[in-house]
Structure 1
Amino acid sequence: MLTCEFCGEELVLEEDMKTHLLLSHPENDMGEQSHDGEAEGRGGHSLVRPSSSPTPTTTIVDNHCKQAIGLSRSEGSERGVDNGNRFDTIVSPRTSNSTLESKEQITEAGGEFGGGRAVAIVVSTSSVSTGFLRSAQDSSRPTSRHCNADESVGVGSAEHTKVKQKRFSSPTKEKRFSCPMCALVCTDAFILQEHVELHLLEESPAEEAVLGATSSTEAASSSNSSGGKSYECPLCSVVCGDCYSLQEHVELHLDYGTATSAVSPGSDLRLARRLQEEEKQRRKEQEAKREAEEFKKLQRQFGVNGRGGYRKQMERTVEKAVSRGVMVHAHFHNKRDEMMEALASGVDDGRTRTQGVLGALYVYYQREARDCVHVWLSADTDHYYSSEGDKGWGCGYRNFQMLLSSLQRMEPYTTCLSEGSVPSIPQVQVLIEGAWREGLDPQGATHFNQRLQGTQAWIGATEIYALCTSLRVSARVLDFHQPTGPGDTHPRLFDWVKQYFSQTATSGARLPPRVVQTTQPPLYLQHQGHSRSIVGVEQKKNGSLCLLLLDPGCTPGDVRKLLSQDGSTVSTAVCRMRKFPGNLKHRQYQVVAVEGVLTPVEKQVSLSGS
């Protein structure tokens, strides 16, 4: 049976008692003054009755009914109050044999300053021991009396029960003062003031310790792999295993002035300027590196990278063939001797030349290619291909040799050209340097630093023009600097080539033949990275044009297929020579056309015009 401490009603169930307290006693106070039987000013020792005491328990008060009886939660409200007051705590247990381990406590205090006392009812959701817990008076204050067993009120006695009921049901309403830091309620302002001062005394040392640690280290702790905590230095990001190591580390910073310099005025500005200078320097280095790479690329492209000229490249190529076992040492020495002899004479040894190409083309078009309405071919021209000494950079020299091989067979040019002798590539370089010394093409001379011998420098249309003018051969350079047809094609280039070859073949003839081999020399065709020779043009039945090109990159074996008696083999070789408008789609093209022989006066005019 459960007995209500306010009205004495007996109930069986705990839930019924809670409902009864909520509905019947919302106005009762639990903080009345104590009965007269309790002595005033009890001593400074608290008395705790053990759980094994045979006295019965008092009222059961749970946290569900705390609002109805004016109670609130509190942690640590068992502490006594100074100035002669004490707190009596009634512990209401759920079980009898347990320790005093309360996690939730409900307190209400009452008393007078100087002679009163505060009563706290403690309710635990866990198990607590039965009895009374009386707090002691502050040991620092002198006391007139001391608490003993004779002065205590026995739990369960009739006198104590009456006093408790009187205290709980007292109609007296006193003014209460709630603690702003905990749930304690006092009836005297001075008691509350001293109680709050106790709170402040307890919290001040802890706050000072936290603030001191924060300002000295500002360390960010993080969990490490072992499950502990690591502390990062705010000055250099070094991670320490514990706060003591971090403190010593930060003190080292302070001793050597690192922290002071890091936070000194203007440090951010100096850092920004330093970073800006570093970025500027890095950009300069990158730009210089890029320019150096581009310059080296141009040097390789124009053959002025210091790798030597025709002779050195020939020697390196032959030595590699010997090291790979492709060539025996005896053959190597023989080939080097032949090369040195040809270089000394200045005349091409003819090992890269293929003769009779235009005659073979004329025969082929007479028999085959019935889809062509007209075919115009240049004068007889020999094919020269790039050898081991000039592979990769000698196309301009080889095309000049093709042009020169055709001019030497024509009557008008025999007076200014030595018949039957085509100069070697090193000799062509010597002739171009001679043209520069005469004053031709000063811009080109400056570009190559007045020197071609012993280099792998590429030459183009302007160098061919200067060389022809120096040899008293009239030449003209035509620029097709942008596409004139759909798909970046150059139909105007094809039309001009047709006009060049057909102008002499159709003069005075009513019906020109289908295949014509003209007396016009081949055309030098230059575009970015390569040059070829135009030796003819086809006109199809639908009116489309197709150029016939001799390429220095073609090997003698491929070119000699034109001389074959097999029609299919010749057709295959001719197909490789054909270039339609869709095959010539470079941005710019230059054409060098030979137009006759210069007189000494005309040559002087050309020199003055340069």
Structure 2
Amino acid sequence: MEFFTCPLCHRFLPSHKIERHVDDHFTDEELSRDLLLAQEVDSRRGASSSSSTYGGGIDIDSKFASLISLQTKEILYQVKGENGLMTCLKDCLTFESEKDATSILSGYIDHFQCRESEDVGWGCGWRNIQMLSSHLIKQRQEAREVLFGGAGFVPDIPSLQRWLEIAWELGFDTQGSNDFNNKIYGKRNWIGTTECAALLRSFGLRAMVVDFCGEETNTGGSANKMLVNKNVSKRKLAQIHGPMDRFLFKEDQKESFKHLSSDAGKKVKGPEVIIEWVWNYFSNNNSTKLGSKRVILSEKAPLYFQEDGHSRTIVGIQAVLKSNKMHQYNLLILDPGHQTEALEKSMKQNFGWQKLIKRGIHTLKKHQYQLTRTVFQLCFIEPGIARGEEIERLKILRGIHHEI
């Protein structure tokens, strides 16, 4: 029989008891006593320098340090190759039949799928956080150093849930934490862009939320109960003016986007605004772009995309010039509901991948929940790491608001 040492209290226990024993350290009854012992674990705080406490006056640094040691790496199906699945997608886009098409892609990203025995039906939000984190850890050195205590890997869902609780305790998105009674570990609640932003902000990342809102509609009480019970993160955030505002309409400034020259002067509306925003995001001139004429590689991070009680990850966008000289846009999306192995197979065989990856504007015109003015939300990550006073400002979650 194998024996292991508990990283918190250093007891020597059999292998079949160690996992349950470690989990017990996180119960409310033992937390105050056991977290004091976690002071011995080295801590790399990448979030706030404040002296926040967790329960019973215990310094939250202790729980942070404990989680660095206890967090578990997510096990995933690994696509071989330098850039994995994104290389497969790049090859497909390069050699597909659409001649007058230009695609812009994010860099490296791992696909994390929902598993039947673990999180099907509720885990998509966590899987998208994992996908976004895989890109940040691989592509941005400053993010790798602070994310998850500098672990250098993407944690599993239970570990992410604990990290989110720490973010809440530190004061990030207090309003949102109240919706979950400040507890998420071990639960199957739906999460969304605001929880993603709060978690990443707690490490100093500049995560921003964009609201795309339509006209208010009336629906029945039963639907409202379903939305509340599922904790779908679609609340309307206070509006701010952020760095991407130049791509957004203002209520007092109705200007059309200036995108590809053949479409200049066209006034976008409805879901087209989202498509246009995504195109401008990935094609921003401040982003170094490499690659061929047909497929451009952008340094921009993927986007967490929330709609209809389901979330996915936007990894790029494609513009196809049609015979009428107008462009047809396709979002390029990785869905946690798809199997990674099936995605890889369809791309390597160059068959059927379009149905799994491409999403045209018509797919954005149908939405199941119309209970609030918010129809869609995006979460994007700006470069750099916040420090000092900026960290304190990030604790208040405000969104860039836009009417569609």
TM-score bracket, shorter-length normalisation: 0.5 to 0.7
Report the AA paired with residue 521 of structure 1: A
Partner Cα distance (2:104, 2:377) in 1 = 21
Question: 1:591 maps to which residue?
Answer: 378
Q: CA deviation at 1:427?
A: 0.6
* Map of 1:420 onto structure 2: 152
Match for 1:513: what amino acid?
K
2:303, 2:315 within 8 Å by CA — same for their partners in 1?
A: yes
Give the counterpart letter for 1:415 in structure 2. E
Shift of 1:353: 5.4
Which residue number in structure 1 is paired with residue 89 of structure 2? Answer: 361
- Show structure 2 runs of 5+ residues with no match: 1-14, 24-68, 216-248, 250-265, 399-404
Change (3 A) 1:505 1:515: farther
Structure 1 stretches lacking a partner, 5+ long: 1-333
Among 372, 383, 387, the alignment partner of 1:600 is 387
User: For 1:508 and 1:432, how far apart are their aligned partners in 2?
Assistant: 33
State the distance in 2 between where 1:574 and 1:342 align.
45
Are the equivalent residues in 2 in contact too, given 1:396–1:460 (CA < 8 A)?
yes
TM-score by length of structure 2 reads 0.60
Distance in 2 (CA, whole Å) between partners of 1:591 and 1:561 is 29
Q: Secondary structure at the match of 1:540?
A: strand
Task: Determine helix, strand or coil for the equivalent of 2:379.
Answer: strand
- Distance verdict in 2 for CA 1:539–1:340, change over 3 Å: farther
| Aligned amino acid, residue 393 of structure 2 | V
Please state if 1:556 is matched with 2:340. yes
Question: How far, CA to CA, are the matches of 1:562 and 1:429 in structure 2?
Answer: 32
> Residues 177-208 of structure 1: CA distance to partner in whole angstroms, max 9, x if unpaired?
xxxxxxxxxxxxxxxxxxxxxxxxxxxxxxxx
**In the alignment, does 2:228 pair up with 1:503?**
no
Change (3 A) 1:342 1:367: farther
Query: Is residue 2:99 matched to residue 1:377?
Result: no
Q: Match for residue 461 of structure 1?
A: 193
Moved over 6 A (4+): 336-344, 483-486, 505-509
Q: Structure 2 vs 1, CA of residues 528 and 369 (structure 1 numbering), >3 Å: closer, same or farther?
A: same
Q: Please show how residues 368-517 of structure 1 align to structure 2 within 5 Å.
A: 368-387=96-115, 388-410=117-139, 411-417=141-147, 418=150, 420-482=152-214, 489-504=270-285, 513-517=293-297
The Cα of 1:575 is off from its aligned counterpart by 2.7
Question: Is 1:350 matched up with 2:75?
Answer: yes
2:296 and 2:19 map into 1 onto residues whose CA distance is: 39
Matched AA of 1:492: V
- Which letter does structure 1 place at the counterpart of 2:338? C
Q: How does 1:286-297 map to 2 (within 5 A)?
A: none
Output the amino acid matched with 1:480.
F
State how far apart, in whole Å, the 2-side matches of 1:594 and 1:453 are. Answer: 25
Structure with bigger gyration radius: 1
Q: Secondary structure at 2:145's aligned position in 1?
A: coil
Give, in whole Å, the separation in 1 of the partners of 2:317 and 2:118. 32
Q: 1:419 to 1:501 in 2, by over 3 A?
A: farther
What CA distance in whole angstroms lies between the structure 2 residues aligned with 1:506 and 1:594?
13
- Tell me which amino acid in the other structure corresponds to 1:584: L
* 1:140-539 equivalent positions in 2, closer than 5 A: 345-351=70-76, 354=79, 356-387=84-115, 388-410=117-139, 411-417=141-147, 418=150, 420-482=152-214, 489-504=270-285, 513-539=293-319
Q: Secondary structure at the match of 1:347?
A: coil
Structure 1 residue 338: Cα displacement: 12
Q: Which amino acid counterpart does residue 72 of structure 2 have in structure 1?
A: V
Per-residue deviation, residues 430-457 of structure 1 (Å, max 9, x unmatched): 0111111111111111111110112111
Structure 2 CA distance for partners of 1:535 and 1:434, relative to 1, 3 Å: same
Letter in 2 for 1:595: E
Cα 1:364–1:512 shift into 2, 3 Å:
closer
Q: Distance in 2 between matches of 1:525 and 1:475?
A: 13
User: Contact 2:317–2:330 (CA<8 Å) still a contact in 1?
Assistant: yes
